[in-house]
Amino acid sequence: MDNAIVTSLVSVVIGTVFFAILAPIVGCLLDGIDRKVSARMQGRVGPNILQPYWDVRKLLLKERASVNTTEGTYVNAALFFALVAGGIFFSGGNFLLVVFVITLSSLFFIVAAYSTRSPYAEIGASRETLQVMSYEPMVLLTSVAMFMIAGTFNVSGLFTMSSPLICGGWAVFAGLLFVLTIKLRKSPFDISSSHHAHQEIVKGITTEMSGPTLAKVEIMHWCENVLFLGWVGMFFVYGGLPSVLLGVLVAVVVYFFEIWIDNNFARVKWQAMLKWAWIVAIVAGGLNIAVLAFF
């Protein structure tokens, strides 16, 4: 086999192992901070920062039950591909492949919900599909803009640039921030499954997932959040270590901004989400790519 392929495969495997160990820890703490900050914004004391970890440990102790034999397999696949996507991204792999693999993970999650045949889970799954439809164009335009600016889809290629992606792609960055609210499942776009109580479709996409299966879903969300914040940080990375630190700092600020949005906006209907996500994708993404292509 070609040497380059072997090298990239090995780096993806090593990256995935590291991501599988570190991302749940970072994601869990981010979730804990999210809940604490949300509580403070609502004038409450809020739970301990380790509460999400305790929640998952409890879910793992619960009775094992499932409405069918396939649901667990689909959720396992969704978690696996989320880990692989993170592994590819953080080992400096191909960004386009990351986008496709994380979408595959989302599709397995949707299929898991559909497989239960529960009316609430099915509505949640169809709304999750609409969420994927909403954010996917912007994410794909982001990768196109990345290629036009950096000349490569490889995340590792960013380190050889003389200026970060944000310099030529600030409009794409703004568009990505818009769809990030959908991807992080924050209000006003938390239509498939809300973290908050009293939702009209029970728990939406996760209605039929319980105990250890729900624990895996939680861990998957943690890993996804870390990956998406990595995408935010990617726009500021070039050259050496200081730019990586700048990327982390911007990711933290953006996460705080998303929590603020979550606590200040009421949910919208899926029609509004789809319309605005596509308008933002066409205006921000399209114009940025046009400018990159013609100037």
Partner 1 sequence: MGFASKSPWVIHYDASSCNGCDIEVLAALCPGYDVERFGIINTGNPKHADIFLVTGSVNEQNIRVVQEIYNQMLEPKVVVACGCCACTGGVFHDSYNVLGGVDQAIPVDVYAPGCAVRPEAIIDAVVEGLAVLEQKSEALQQQRKGA
Smallest gap from residue 47 Cβ to partner 1 (A): 5
State phi, psi for 262 to the nearest 5 degrees. Answer: -55, -40
**Contact with partner 1 (CB under 8 A): which of 48, 160, 163, 264?**
48
45 is a site residue for partner 1 (CB under 8 A): yes
CA distance 123 to 114: 9
Stretch touching partner 1 by CB under 8 A, among 13-21, 22-30, 34-42, 128-136: 34-42
Residues 102-131 contacting partner 1, CB under 8 A: none
CB 32 within 8 Å of CB 48: yes
Cα dist from 82 to 123, 125, 228, whole Å: 23, 18, 11
Residues 155-214 contacting partner 1, CB under 8 A: 197-199, 202-203, 206-211, 214
Stretch touching partner 1 by CB under 8 A, among 43-51, 80-88, 226-234, 237-245: 43-51
**Contact with partner 1 (CB under 8 A): which of 1, 5, 63, 271?**
63
Smallest gap from residue 20 Cβ to partner 1 (A): 22
- For the chain, the residue count is 295
Smallest gap from residue 33 Cβ to partner 1 (A): 14
Quote the distance between the C-alpha of residue 159 and its chain's center: 23
Quote the distance between the C-alpha of residue 91 and its chain's center: 17
265 is a site residue for partner 1 (CB under 8 A): no
Closest to partner 1 by CB, 45 or 266: 45
Stretch touching partner 1 by CB under 8 A, among 50-58, 147-155, 244-252, 266-274: 50-58
**Contact with partner 1 (CB under 8 A): which of 55, 122, 128, 258?**
55
Closest to partner 1 by CB, 46 or 72: 46
- Long-range pairs for 154-159 at CB < 8 Å and ≥24 separation? 154/92, 154/93, 154/94, 154/95, 155/89, 155/90, 155/92, 155/93, 155/94, 155/95, 155/98, 155/234, 156/92, 156/93, 157/92, 158/234, 158/237, 158/238, 159/92, 159/237, 159/238, 159/239
Smallest gap from residue 73 Cβ to partner 1 (A): 19
Residue recorded with tokens 């250890």? 212
Stretch touching partner 1 by CB under 8 A, among 46-54, 148-156, 172-180, 241-249: 46-54
42 is a site residue for partner 1 (CB under 8 A): yes
Smallest gap from residue 187 Cβ to partner 1 (A): 16
Smallest gap from residue 31 Cβ to partner 1 (A): 13
- Long-range pairs for 239-243 at CB < 8 Å and ≥24 separation? 239/159, 239/161, 239/162, 243/164
**Contacting residues toward partner 1, per CB under 8 A:** 35, 39, 42-48, 51, 54-55, 57-58, 61-63, 65, 197-199, 202-203, 206-211, 214
